[in-house]
Structure 1
């Protein structure tokens, strides 16, 4: 079983990743500004308090770990640097051979086989979420230059519905997937593909 860290562990997606990883038998370090808010107790769970914008604290929290899942997120639609700055700090804290999976968004690109409705929705979302998407795009640029075994997981619209157990996946994010993604399905995909080399160095679109 692996030893991994989940950064942003107290968010709605991060918590589910922690739960899924523990259920799979992994040892999990939950990293958040207030990890006590996770509300979980488990013999294979370690909590570490760190702000992703504090590189020293983050480096200490991730010491000795070679697998990291970033479930960082920003509130609202205004300007943000949480994705790019947080990912830069994570990259700096990891050794060269580390594995890093980050949660991004399927809205960053429109598949070549997308219909007119999907293309229109994509244009609308890019206007509404332009600041968030710009920061996510910068995050993915940082990943591409990091030298790590990275994956940018791009879910479609997130929901809190129960998982289907059958997530739809497009390696390379070039094909269509569904319009909605259960956070439970997203967490399952992340944990199940921790060691999948077909996802290394690539974006992957995911939906329920």
Structure 2
């Protein structure tokens, strides 16, 4: 399969590119700084592109079977985050222009503010203080995707990320903003290996289970 990867130089993106190549996919890594991706493979094309420019993306997305986005955006002291919505709007417009209709992207548990009420006050305060602007922009991006009728999207929501390679652990999944236990409470807050998130995202290329859905994941 031909896959365009956004955010390929990021920590999750690098795991995803390596795994995709091992699976035999042909990968086009669209990055801001090609020199940052040191992987060399006959089925890998590393190209410079701007995720905020439709014309830049169109050329690289043409002929692809799917797009996988591992983009991440951090808040700054003086402003919030808007990169998730900006980049996704641009990507979707470029996909529509060149006839690509499958995208898999990642956000996080608790993007819906209501889901935070299932967490402890201390944890809730931490999220609101540290990354609320990130979660809010992720949530806005998710709602934008829900309005796109001609795109087969999937949003993957891990609880947190560890910079570790993939394991063979079984995934627990739930269509919602966290994975609940038998009492409806979050099943735990341990972070998932970035390699496992990449593994799950790639597995969706061969399935229709989570088309036009958001899936919270964790590992056993």
* SS of structure 1 residue aligned to 2:73: coil
Alignment of 1:1-208 (within 5 A): 2-76=1-75, 78-95=79-96, 98-109=101-112, 117=120, 121-147=123-149, 148-173=151-176, 175-176=179-180, 177-179=187-189, 180-208=191-219
Q: 1:121 to 1:65 in 2, by over 3 A?
A: same
Q: 1:143 to 1:80 in 2, by over 3 A?
A: same
Q: 1:22 to 1:175 in 2, by over 3 A?
A: same
Q: 1:200 to 1:120 in 2, by over 3 A?
A: farther
Offset of residue 109 of structure 1:
4.0
* SS of structure 1 residue aligned to 2:62: coil
CA distance in 2, matches of 1:115, 1:143: 25
Please give the TM-score of this superposition, normalised by the length of structure 2.
Answer: 0.84
Offset of residue 98 of structure 1:
1.1
- Kindly name which structure, 1 or 2, has the bigger radius of gyration based on alpha carbons: 2
Q: 1:97 to 1:28 in 2, by over 3 A?
A: closer
> What root-mean-square deviation, in Å, do the aligned CA atoms of Structure 1 and Structure 2 show?
2.2
Contact 2:61 2:100 in 1 (8 A): no
Q: 1:116 to 1:59 in 2, by over 3 A?
A: closer
Q: Name stretches of at least 5 consecutive residues in structure 2 with no aligned partner.
A: 181-186
* SS of structure 2 residue aligned to 1:106: coil
Offset of residue 43 of structure 1:
0.6
CA distance in 2, matches of 1:7, 1:111: 29
CA distance in 2, matches of 1:75, 1:126: 14
* SS of structure 1 residue aligned to 2:47: strand
* SS of structure 1 residue aligned to 2:81: coil
* SS of structure 2 residue aligned to 1:29: strand
* SS of structure 1 residue aligned to 2:8: coil
* SS of structure 2 residue aligned to 1:73: coil
Offset of residue 115 of structure 1:
6.2
CA distance in 2, matches of 1:51, 1:188: 25
Offset of residue 123 of structure 1:
5.0
Q: Name stretches of at least 5 consecutive residues in structure 1 with no aligned partner.
A: none
* SS of structure 1 residue aligned to 2:67: strand
Contact 2:179 2:218 in 1 (8 A): no
Contact 1:107 1:126 in 2 (8 A): no
